[in-house]
Structure 1
Amino acid sequence: MHRPSLIETQLATELAEARPDLVSGYPAELPGARAAVLTRLWRALAHEPLPWVTRRVRGAHSLALWLADGRALHGPPADPYATDAYVTAVRLDGVSYDDPARLMTDLGWPHSAGFAGELGHSAASLALSRANRGLPPKEWPGRDWEWEQRVVDGHPFHPNCRSRPGLSAAEQLAYGPEHRPVVRLETVPVEAGDCLLTGDWPDELRDAGRLLIPVHPWQAAHVLKGAPGEPWRTGHPLLSLRTLALPDGKHVKTALSARLTSSVRDISTYSIGAAMTLSSFATDLASHTDGLLHITRTLGAATAGSPDLAAVLRESPEVYAGPGERVLPVAALATTALPESPSWLDGFTRLALTVGLRLLDLGVALEAHGQNLLVVLSETGAPLRLVYRDLADIRLSPARLARHGITPPELTGRLVTDDETTLRRKLFGSLIAGALAGTAGSGPALAAALETAVRDLPATPDLRALLEGPLPAKALTLMRLSPEVPGDQWAALPNPLAGTQ
């Protein structure tokens, strides 16, 4: 019998006080949650360039990993694009492990203790999310935030898919979108002269020469301790948790200095300074997609000189949906009743690749994962157009833009690069190995949709690179195990399009 971990026990104790009605459902969800996290971890062990794995032996029905210290790991074949939790246990030198946190602890690699703690949080929080999930309605939701509440399991490939260390059970229930809460935001007043402001800042967020910065209640309690805050407006949390849909339809992105999944969700001064320049440029760039892509506009952005106290106001993707249409994050497609036909996935894949590769050729690589990329569906569920939100992590190539007669925006820093590998990794890793793979749900399904879609695409150098090489994906586990290495690290996944010409 599995012995509950300290994290699981702590969350259960907190749950008994916060939501006694979930006490029986929570432990029932733990085995499935551990398997979901273990499946994601096994994918990483099988495919990421981990220096502690020296050899991989793939059989028809098994996978063996030989470790640098002489030990061996055995488990099932690892489909890098599968989203079902198919790994219930793996064996380390003959000992069976069904708990990803215990496995990582006993592997004993550098930084594995900290990562094991995050894996334990991921499984425990995922069990909580599943225990409190709502029954999916028969009809499509009417508002954008209702789609985002349907995504219970989080990132489809990251072992830290639901890792929320620093958030108690009560706080997860109060702030996690899958728990369907209404969150009361606060505002903190800062002298306008001490702030960096770009774009328009509404009158309701100004007071006698001061700017009122919207603040998430978790941030106010745990980071801005003692800061003079006032209740402001309520909002519905979106997939990113720290971004909320307001009653008037606008979205507000707040700083949330907790490590969720992999990253601390603060807002850099660089992002605030670039926000309006990026928004204006991207709005003009969308005109090059023949109406297939809209980019949500940034309305205003402000920071009090700290990544812990900043906010961005954006328009809602809903403004780009016509009568009878619905716009939803690609991450929510897997939770949605769609037409049961392979042609649906083919059409959506063709649409996404057409837009993504066209922009890449022009000189813009989108971070088009399932949270940033949204799709507009017709009343019958047909994919019509795409919407993209949050420009903070795109990449711009001045050389490519200039080649097409497009004046690059006046930006410097991390957003700007002409390195083709960096540009392609940004798009391919997020769109194909992320959004499309998560929607397809398996390698064979992804391969079939891609093979159909690429037949109609222009034969650009980027498409040739996509056809000929391995598929890049962020090495998310390696990055957590090597925090001393700055920036992204990458894995080379088997390419579903290999041999497609």
Structure 2
Amino acid sequence: MHRPSSTEAEVADELAAVRPALSGRFDAERPGARAAVLTRLWRALAHEPLPWIAGRESAGDGLVLRLADGRRLAGPAADPYRTDAYARVVHLDEAAYDDPERLMTDLAVPHSAGFAAELGHSAASLALSRAGQPGAVPRDHPDEWPRSDWGWERRVVDGHPYHPGCRSRPGFSVAEQLAYGPEHGPVVELGLVPVPADECLVTGAWPRELRDGRALLVPVHPWQAAHVLKRRCEQGISARPLMSLRTLAVPGGPHVKTALSARLTSSVRDISVASVGASADVSRFGQELAARLDGLLHVTGTLGAVAAGSPDLAAVLRESPRTYAAPGEHVVPVAALAGIGPAGSPAWRAAFARLALGVGLRLLELGVALEAHGQNLLVVLSAAGAPLRLVYRDLADIRVSPARLARHGIAVPDLPARMLTDDPVALRRKLFGSLVGGALAATAGSGAALGAALEEAVRELPPTPDVLALRDEPLPVKSLTLMRTSPASAGDLWTELPNPLHAG
């Protein structure tokens, strides 16, 4: 059924050259990595509005998809909130597939070739990420948990819990993945590019140690220097990469968000000149709104931002989320919660859902929809592991309703136009899709567990229109595979999943 794809073979050959000691572990991790990516792909095929799927029907304990060309694709029943790798084999007519790259290649639907290559890269890179892990990771006892920003973030080995391109890093060699991927635990030496201050847009306070006379020293990721700027940089900052890859933690200092013009998961995430110009205002606005939530939410502040005339050469300095932790407390990205001891308890999940939904919905009522996925949202845990409050970082993709702000007597700040909308559907999509369909769902690991946690939380919330929509309507989430196979469509595309509160 399976023969190594060309992508797997290429990664294996390069690994044998640069880190031969990992080759055996890489080979052992290949089947599980393929299953993890195939499971994410099967979820998309089962639930997204893909134009070449004509119908879906249950078949015993499984699901059959009728393709527009008459073929049939069969696999297991697809719980859209389940996170374990349960789809190890699917059948296209009579042929069995355990490799998502080969399946997508043989489906041969519009724009499938490029996406198939991404799937192959995702599976191979995921196998590499798993192979590079140090062994058993203590998860059950808080005394054994990491004390650093990067210690938690390197535990997020599998990437996005629902995206088939969860580990796709096109443009990164094996050596570069080992050198820059947070799951491999490297120290990254950021370069410093001097740019005359009068040629830069600066907001906030650019620190003295990143100045050289009349020049500003712009931190540059070494991948960006080599592949985009194509120049050598003086090494200036030793930092630890976080799960976004382009943001790194300086030990004892801030987080540095660098320009990294590579496609990671879905899109190229640059630092636009406009976002640098708005960064101070957006940061101040976020922190002022958070102050209205009785200490249950903190927003990491932007310390300074610089753009040297291009998204290819820009950087943002932010507070570390650990700024908002008291002694003995842990600040954990929600993406790193899955698998740690307390998060496996139904009571803990219900408490976390009450906290996260309460904060998110209060902010939404005020007029701000957070993109509260597992990377942007962090939870402060007590020394014993109880969820106490939230920390949110990176406000670049929030949505703000001027009408809702005005209704609460809050002045509308000067924000980028793309952030502003009064459309309740757009606002709810942003919050519910990221928080419920992403952060809470991945922490729960199944529709039944998610529904139980939500039921506990929702019954305590006031019946606002937003709460009623969350309770009664299907759950909006991004159509991640549709977006990757629709090159002519700009922006987010959406689908609706069965409401987990109705799972029973």
State the TM-score, normalized to the length of structure 1: 0.98
Question: 1:87 aligns to what?
Answer: 87
The question of 1:145 aligning with 2:146 is answered: no
Tell me how far apart the structure 1 counterparts of residues 147 and 461 of structure 2 sit (CA, whole Å): 34
Q: Is contact 2:448–2:503 with CA below 8 Å preserved after alignment?
A: no
Question: 2:160 aligns to what?
Answer: 155
Q: Is contact 1:150–1:335 with CA below 8 Å preserved after alignment?
A: no
Question: 1:405 aligns to what?
Answer: 409
Question: 1:203 aligns to what?
Answer: 208
Q: Is contact 2:170–2:262 with CA below 8 Å preserved after alignment?
A: yes
Aligned length, in residue pairs: 499
Could you tell which deviates more after superposition, 44-53 or 265-274? 265-274
Q: Is contact 2:83–2:445 with CA below 8 Å preserved after alignment?
A: yes
Does the residue aligned with 2:41 lie in a helix, a strand or coil? helix
Deviations 1:159-218 (A, max 9, x none): 000001110111000000000000000011112111111101011111121111100000
Deviation (angstroms), 1:271: 1.2
Question: 1:66 aligns to what?
Answer: 66
* Letter aligned with residue 244 of structure 1: L
Map 1:238-249 → 2, pairs under 5 A: 238-249=242-253
* Letter aligned with residue 195 of structure 2: V
Deviations 1:211-240 (A, max 9, x none): 1110000000000013x5211111000010
Tell me how far apart the structure 2 counterparts of residues 309 and 396 of structure 1 sit (CA, whole Å): 28
The question of 1:214 aligning with 2:214 is answered: no
Deviation (angstroms), 1:340: 5.1
Does the residue aligned with 1:189 lie in a helix, a strand or coil? strand
Question: 1:78 aligns to what?
Answer: 78
Tell me how far apart the structure 2 counterparts of residues 339 and 123 of structure 1 sit (CA, whole Å): 27
Identity over aligned pairs, percent: 69
Q: Is contact 2:354–2:458 with CA below 8 Å preserved after alignment?
A: yes
* Letter aligned with residue 156 of structure 2: V
Tell me how far apart the structure 1 counterparts of residues 382 and 482 of structure 2 sit (CA, whole Å): 40
Map 1:239-388 → 2, pairs under 5 A: 239-338=243-342, 341-388=345-392
Question: 2:397 aligns to what?
Answer: 393
Deviation (angstroms), 1:6: 1.1
Question: 1:30 aligns to what?
Answer: 30
Could you tell which deviates more after superposition, 330-339 or 210-219? 330-339
* Letter aligned with residue 49 of structure 2: P
CA 1:474 to 1:18, structure 2 compared with 1: closer, same or farther past 3 Å?
same
Deviations 1:271-319 (A, max 9, x none): 1111100100111101111111000000001111211111000000001
Tell me how far apart the structure 2 counterparts of residues 257 and 42 of structure 1 sit (CA, whole Å): 29
Tell me how far apart the structure 1 counterparts of residues 65 and 314 of structure 2 sit (CA, whole Å): 45
* Letter aligned with residue 138 of structure 2: P
Deviations 1:448-473 (A, max 9, x none): 00011101111111001111111000
RMSD of aligned residue pairs (Cα, Å): 1.2
Tell me how far apart the structure 2 counterparts of residues 373 and 202 of structure 1 sit (CA, whole Å): 27
Does the residue aligned with 1:79 lie in a helix, a strand or coil? coil
Tell me how far apart the structure 2 counterparts of residues 82 and 493 of structure 1 sit (CA, whole Å): 12
Deviation (angstroms), 1:335: 3.5
Question: 1:19 aligns to what?
Answer: 19
Q: Is contact 1:189–1:229 with CA below 8 Å preserved after alignment?
A: no
The answer for unaligned runs of 5 or more in structure 2 is none
Deviations 1:336-381 (A, max 9, x none): 2226531110000110000000000100000000000000000111
The answer for unaligned runs of 5 or more in structure 1 is none
Q: Is contact 1:325–1:379 with CA below 8 Å preserved after alignment?
A: yes
Q: Is contact 2:259–2:313 with CA below 8 Å preserved after alignment?
A: yes
Q: Is contact 1:122–1:162 with CA below 8 Å preserved after alignment?
A: yes
Could you tell which deviates more after superposition, 71-80 or 491-500? 491-500
Deviations 1:6-62 (A, max 9, x none): 111111111112111101111111110000000000000000011111101024401
State the TM-score, normalized to the length of structure 2: 0.97
Does the residue aligned with 2:455 lie in a helix, a strand or coil? helix
* Letter aligned with residue 379 of structure 1: A
Q: Is contact 1:467–1:499 with CA below 8 Å preserved after alignment?
A: no
Deviation (angstroms), 1:498: 3.4
Deviation (angstroms), 1:249: 2.6
Could you tell which deviates more after superposition, 379-388 or 267-276? 267-276
The question of 1:224 aligning with 2:229 is answered: yes
Tell me how far apart the structure 2 counterparts of residues 335 and 121 of structure 1 sit (CA, whole Å): 25
Tell me how far apart the structure 2 counterparts of residues 341 and 90 of structure 1 sit (CA, whole Å): 32
CA 1:342 to 1:197, structure 2 compared with 1: closer, same or farther past 3 Å?
same
Deviations 1:250-291 (A, max 9, x none): 100001111111111211112111110010011110111111
Question: 1:133 aligns to what?
Answer: 133
Tell me how far apart the structure 2 counterparts of residues 60 and 377 of structure 1 sit (CA, whole Å): 43
Tell me how far apart the structure 1 counterparts of residues 313 and 102 of structure 2 sit (CA, whole Å): 37
Runs of 4+ more than 4 Å apart: none
Does the residue aligned with 2:317 lie in a helix, a strand or coil? strand
* Letter aligned with residue 218 of structure 2: I
Does the residue aligned with 1:414 lie in a helix, a strand or coil? helix
Match 1:443 to one of 439, 443, 447: 447
Tell me how far apart the structure 1 counterparts of residues 469 and 208 of structure 2 sit (CA, whole Å): 49
Match 1:167 to one of 168, 172, 176: 172
* Letter aligned with residue 196 of structure 2: E
The question of 1:191 aligning with 2:167 is answered: no
Deviation (angstroms), 1:323: 1.4
Q: Is contact 1:151–1:335 with CA below 8 Å preserved after alignment?
A: no
* Letter aligned with residue 426 of structure 1: K
* Letter aligned with residue 4 of structure 1: P
The question of 1:498 aligning with 2:502 is answered: yes
Question: 1:431 aligns to what?
Answer: 435
Deviation (angstroms), 1:499: 8.9
Question: 1:477 aligns to what?
Answer: 481
Tell me how far apart the structure 2 counterparts of residues 309 and 134 of structure 1 sit (CA, whole Å): 34
* Letter aligned with residue 298 of structure 2: H
* Letter aligned with residue 470 of structure 2: L
Tell me how far apart the structure 2 counterparts of residues 68 and 2 of structure 1 sit (CA, whole Å): 26
Q: Is contact 1:12–1:23 with CA below 8 Å preserved after alignment?
A: yes
